[in-house]
Amino acid sequence: MNFVFLSPHFPPNYYQFCVHLHHLGVNVLGIADEPYKNLHPELKAVLSEYYHVADMHNYDELLRGLGWFTHRHGKLDRLDSQNEYWLETEARLRSDFNIFGLNNETIARVKRKSLMKEMYARAGVPHAEGAVTATLAEARRLVKRIGYPVVAKPDIGVGAARTCKIRNDAELDRFFAQKPPTDYLIESFICGTIFTFDGLTNREGEPVFYTSHRYSNGVMETVNDAGDVYYYSLREIPADLEEAGRRVLRAYDLRERFFHLEFFRTEEEGRIVALEVNMRPPGGLTTDMFNYANDIDIYHEWAHVVTHNRFTANYERKYHCCYAGRKFARRYAHSHEEILRRFPHQLVHHQTITGLFSAAMGDYGYLFRSPDEEEITAIAAFILEPQG
């Protein structure tokens, strides 16, 4: 099997996907704009060949790279980056080289939030009412029907970038006066807690691994207010959340792929409402959280699904695993050294977070685990307690 991995050096922990593909006998081919000398030593050791391009945004360069791989190694069987940013590029390359997976015909419903609503309707899953509005007049007509507050977000966008809450006519007018020249979706603001349904499907579209995470704050609020966030995995997944997640997966017919589905549980009624889909692994260190929560190696298991269509590990969700991110611009009650001394057994990993993710995830992240949910939230509160 020939597997082309786009941008195998980023995010920094994703080189492990390539390592485990290689260990299972896959011919791993890397392509990116990062100089070869800068690659992680373990990544260098498992790449059969690396094609350097000057600019990953230059599609002709990528075409030449994959053409070179085809000339050298034969038919290309798979292509991926596991990165939201490159989803459309991947789909285009898969279409041009007839590679299995999301392609030009299917990528729009994964990337466009407006089309996600159509998929939720097909799945029979409640979702926020909204539409793409090109003009202020269209937006006013929509708001007259659904009411304030609303959320404005790019129809195609990563995370909560350029997303805002609009509470009244004056804020709506101001938004359209400053609106970037791109399609924006306006939808009802849902008040609730974010829960995710995350995992991996096999070649038949069945989830062979799945879990759920609960967020302390919404990503939009964290980015816009420069606040802190923590989120942790659940040991037991609520039945209505799992059912909604499975319905969405069936509607998308997602095969041999990670998924990260976001939902609200509303404050007043406690019902599940779909937020958006992400057909790739959850960002940041969440793949490592999969491992710490379940004592598995998700990088190996993904490689096994790709090569043999089997998930081999048994998992019991033994722990809640939590991520808590601190920001360098904020002052906290407890020092880094205090955290290390206070939780030597619960803390499993900590590191600096790269600038690309820091607006949402913080500048420094801690991973810790416990079978006790109350202990998890208490540790998060200790780490993020502001200085008096």
Residue 225 pLDDT:
57
Rounded-to-integer distance, Cα 357 and Cα 378, Å: 25
The HSE-up count of residue 216 (CA atoms within 13 Å, CB side) is 19
Mean pLDDT (the chain, rounded):
95
Residue 157 pLDDT:
77
Whether pLDDT at 209 is above 70? yes
Whether pLDDT at 224 is above 70? no
What would the mean pLDDT of 77-83 be, rounded to a whole number? 97
pLDDT confidence bin for 161, thresholds 50/70/90: low
Which pTM does this prediction carry? 0.94
Of 112-116, 157-161, 162-166, 191-195, the least confident: 157-161
Residue 388 pLDDT:
81
Share above pLDDT 70 across residues of the chain, in percent, rounded to a whole number: 96
Sign of the torsion angle spanned by Cα atoms 194, 197, 199, 203:
negative
Residue-level length of the chain:
388
- Three-class DSSP category at 34: coil
What would the mean pLDDT of 295-323 be, rounded to a whole number? 98
Rounded-to-integer distance, Cα 108 and Cα 252, Å: 12
Whether pLDDT at 328 is above 70? yes
Residue 219 pLDDT:
58
The DSSP element (H or E) to which 372 belongs, if any, is: none
Domains of the chain: 2-105 (3.40.50.20), 129-188 (3.30.1490.20), 192-384 (3.30.470.20)
Whether pLDDT at 150 is above 70? yes
Distances (CA, A) of 11 to 8, 246, 313: 8, 28, 24
Q: Is the peptide bond before 180 cis (omega within 30 degrees of 0)?
A: no
Q: What is the pLDDT of residues 166-190, one digit of tens each?
A: 999 999 999 999 998 999 999 999 9
Of 285, 343, 373, 367, nearest to 16 by C-alpha is: 285
Share above pLDDT 90 across residues of the chain, in percent, rounded to a whole number: 92
Tokens of residue 368, six digits: 């810790």
Rounded-to-integer distance, Cα 352 and Cα 355, Å: 9
Other residues' Cβ atoms within 10 Å of the Cβ of residue 253: 10
Residues with Cβ < 8 Å from 214, sequence gap 6 or more? 193, 194, 195, 231, 232, 234
Mutual angle of helices 286-294 and 298-308, in 10-degree steps:
100
